[in-house]
Structure 1
Amino acid sequence: MKKLRFTLFSVKDAVLAFGPMTVLLLALLFATWYFVEPAPSHTVDFVGGQENSAYDAFAKAYATELAKNDIKVVVHHSQGSLENMAQIRDMDSVIDIGFVQSGSTNQEEAQAQGLISLGSLFYEPVWIFYRSKKEFDSIAQFKGMRVNLGPDGYGVHKLFSQIVDINGLNDGDFQLSQLDNPIGTAAFLDGKIDVVVMSAASDSLLVQMLLQTPNVRLFDFAQAEAYTRRLPFLSHVILPRGIVDIGKDLPARDYHLLAPTATLVAHESLHPALVSLFLQAAKKIHGNANWLSDQAEFPSDRFTEIPVAPQAEKFYRNGPPFLQRYLSFWMANFLERMWVVLLTFGALALPLSKVIPPLYRWRIRSRVYRWYGQLRAVEMALDHVDPAERDQVLAQQLQRLDEIEEKVNQISIPLSFADELYGLRSHINFVRQRLRNAA
């Protein structure tokens, strides 16, 4: 145990020297941490569409992609775009993000409701299928017909109303129904409905089936460019000749279509780090070429009336954040959030690293130096002493010197400072010798 008193390092003195500064540093770091933006949630609620719809399939694809970064995406079902937007803007709803079709709102309403866009994802053309011996070239030719628009939540009814309004018509000029698309399509094929209107991506099974069904015509929006000038949220897209079946030459010519876009919309409270993560997933899911879009055309910050989130704009300009290109999402996010803390730590650690070592050395040496005051007092005790009392005072100081030496021998000190301890002991002997010489 005696050997343990002499070590290379004094833990006790290190704690006393480093402790107050460390506590202060940790307090400052904690205060900085408290005001730093919290980490994103590990769970995100995503609203897609009806079960087994294209929206639902895409929502599940996002869930798969984000699961690779340990984020659970809970997919919810809905009647479509309008219901999705209502749930996203509702602060009492659990929904964080979902698909909304362009044209469902306007910029002023979206800002007032706290909505942000992460960008548009794919075209959802307005497909108008009908049966007729002759080809129609005007919406007015559908006047009086039985037209199915799908359920309210799809947003097709609002879109159809805007299109017919431009043509000087209104909903009352048609016999409108709102059957689910599969049911409405079956009724159309049975002759119970004259026209089917739907807005869906080109990979919709119903769309592909109707494009290949004999005696079913697709309406060609020959005035597509004029429509897009009047309704800016719509895009003019072309269904190329032969894209359905090149061998059978289906369709037999190019068709001009009007297309809103499916947009990824969230509430402004969505954590900024998740914006980049969702867009990285969107590039994988929607970045390939299809019937209507080119390679890497989507996701895009165009075609959306909802304000694009600043983090999304940054993504479109520069790509993923620098750290996320080389580190896992959670590690990159930690460093991105904590750079202020790390900067504070560095700013404090540098000066403290220069202050604390001298403080530690002072604490060790003070165990030795404080005895020199007593040695000096012993040495000066014989000065100006009456000769008659000199022997008595000398005996007292020699006894006191022995007591000092005994206490000094009990000092524990790191070996790196042992020379100063031995120096003190030699100085004690030096003072003792002087006292004896003075006798």
Structure 2
Amino acid sequence: MSKILAFTRFSLRDLVVTAAPAVLAVAAVCLLAYWLVDPMPPRVVTMSTGQENSAYEVFGKKYAQALLKHGITLKLAPSQGSLDNLQRLNSGNTDIAFVQSGSTSEDEAGRRGLTSIGSLFTEPVWLFLRDSVKANELKQLKGLKLNLGPEGSGVPRLFRQVLDANGVAPGDITAGALENTPATVELLEGRIDGLVFSSAPDAPLVQMLLMTPGIRLFDFAQAEAYTRRLPFLSHVVLPRGIVDLGRDLPPHDVHLIAPTATLVARDDLHPALVDLLVQAAAQIHGGAGWFQQQGQFPSPRYTEIPVAHEAARFYKDGPPLLQRYMSFWLANFFDRMWVLVVALGALILPLSKIVPPLYVWRIRSRVFRWYGQLRAVEQALAAAPPDRRDAVHAEQLAHLNDIEDKVNQVSIPLAFADELYGLRSHINLVRQRMPNNQRSSD
């Protein structure tokens, strides 16, 4: 029984030694595929937001908190606004950014490799004027000092389109390019007549100006007509009393025109991060608001930028199945296992045809290598000169006995035992052909 166990141990060792190179090759290819074909999501991502006290800045901080729960750091980079963000995306200086609808075209976004993660919220065009300015139509703004914001915000380009639709030329107004916060100071001090910016209603600056005495919000009475002339705009209504019911602010419904804020990424952003971002967007923007119903946002609509495949899948089917029950990193690990399956399938099938013959060859080589020495004994006997034949026979008999002793110590799996016993019988056959066929020990 001990010899049988010895045979068994040696067979296992032979199998391990024979299969080890193949196993190492499979492991190396799997690791290479795991890290290169479908790499891990990055731990640090950059998001370009907006100006100080803007909705982009506020929401950027919320996204940073949402991603930090999953161990991902979102670095926020302030900007002038939508156009500035778009330039950073095009140059590769940021991974994600808030972009206003109408800032680019579908063809241009495709050429630049941009994808939409979804429309997030409507950001009305807020035109705040001093009460002393008696302008109820945009053509009455001629000759006034208006701050349109820095060019990178996208609002100057948008508002000039609106003014042009009303026959107001760029030179008909004195346009300022201050950021929103210093422009608000200028408005409150009476040094400008009004300021224009685009933002979500819950931005601190919007809330403050809506409740500031002496400042009024311009009513775009022709808002529906603007949406027909400029398709990237939508018509929204600020209901009477929504700001402060007790003070009846605003005192009447206010019609506004509104582009839509979109979360845009480069198309090389890791798919797992797209899944995570669109889920965060659903948590941050999915509630009801002044201009939206519960669940209206985020949405694949209201944007001219093609929607990312992973985001479109979320809007159709919800979160990935694994991420509903597992942590982000664990779900991502199992989701990437398909790469290992492909790698294993490509290697194991051919290796399964190579390893067994190698294993058989390794076992049989322990027996077959002794046949070479038997052949050498026979050749030495045949070539012995007559005057030295007895000495050669005695020398080769000792060699043959040594071979037999070593062969008797060879251990091989039981399945190959017939070959070992065959070798021993062949040793005896060679001995019988010798004049002195007795073992030297006899």
Q: Is the shorter-chain TM-score for this pair beyond 0.5, marking a shared fold?
A: yes
Q: Which residues in structure 2 correspond to 1:188-227 (within 5 Å)? A: 188-227=187-226
Q: In structure 2, how many angstroms separate the alpha carbons of the residues matched to 1:112 and 1:372?
A: 72
Query: Could you say which residue in structure 1 is the equivalent of 2:303?
Result: 304
Mapping for residues 20-419 of structure 1, pairs under 5 Å: 20-22=21-23, 25=26, 29=30, 36-91=37-92, 94-132=93-131, 137-337=136-336, 339-350=338-349, 352-353=351-352, 356-357=355-356, 359-361=358-360, 363-368=362-367, 402-413=401-412
For each residue in 1:165-211, what CA deviation from the matched residue of structure 2 results, as whole angstroms up to 9, or x when unmatched? Answer: 11111222223323332333233233333223221111122222222
Amino acid paired to 2:344: F
Q: State the 1:125 CA deviation.
A: 0.6
**Match in the other structure for 1:387:** none
What SS does the corresponding residue of 2:355 show, helix, strand or coil? helix
One-letter code aligned to 2:71: D
Quote the Cα distance in structure 1 between the aligned partners of 2:180 and 2:368.
93
Structure 1, unmatched stretches of 5+, are 383-390
In structure 2, relative to structure 1, the CA distance for the partners of 1:208 and 1:51 (3 Å cut) is: closer
SS of the aligned residue for 2:57 comes to: helix
Deviations 1:233-267 (A, max 9, x none): 11111222322123333223322211112221223
Q: Which residue of 2 aligns with 1:386?
A: none
Name the Cα RMSD after superposition.
4.1
TM-score (norm 2): 0.80
Deviation sequence 1:60-96 (CA, Å, 0-9, x none):
22222222233222211222222222222124xx322
Give the superposition deviation at 1:324.
Answer: 3.5
1:135 touches 1:217 (CA, 8 Å); kept in 2? no
The alpha carbon displacement at 1:411 in A equals: 1.6
Structure 1 SS opposite 2:102: coil
Q: How far off is 1:5 after superposition? A: 6.8
1:47, 1:99 within 8 Å by CA — same for their partners in 2?
yes
Bigger CA drift: 349-358 or 369-378? Answer: 369-378
Counterpart residue identity of residue 61, structure 2: K
Q: Is residue 146–residue 174 contact of structure 1 (8 Å, CA) maintained in 2?
A: yes
Question: Helix, strand or coil for the counterpart of 2:59?
Answer: helix
For the residue of structure 1 that corresponds to 2:293, the secondary structure is coil
- The 2-side partners of 1:215 and 1:34 are apart by 61
Deviates more, 1:174-183 or 1:17-26: 17-26
- 1:338 Cα deviation (Å)? 5.2
Q: Give 1:52 deviation, angstroms.
A: 4.4
Could you tell which deviates more after superposition, 391-400 or 366-375?
A: 391-400
2:141 alignment partner AA:
F
Q: Which runs of 5+ in 2 are unaligned?
A: 382-389, 438-442
Aligned partners of 2:119 and 2:300 also within 8 Å: yes
The residue type equivalent to 1:89 in the other structure is N
Q: In the alignment, is the contact (CA less than 8 A) between 1:131 and 1:217 conserved in 2? A: yes
Residue 432 of structure 1 deviates from its aligned partner by 10
Residues 433/87 of structure 1: CA separation in 2 closer, same or farther (3 Å cut): closer
1:388 matched to which residue of 2? none
> Whole-Å Cα distance in 2 between the matches of residues 127 and 299 of structure 1?
22
Aligned letter for 1:317?
K
- The sequence identity of aligned pairs, in percent, is 54
| Letter aligned with residue 211 of structure 1 | L
Contact 1:120 1:303 (C-alpha < 8 Å) held by counterparts? yes
Once the 2 structures are TM-superposed, how far is the Cα of residue 131 of structure 1 from its aligned partner?
3.8
TM-score (norm 1): 0.81
Contact 1:36 1:337 in 2 (8 A): no
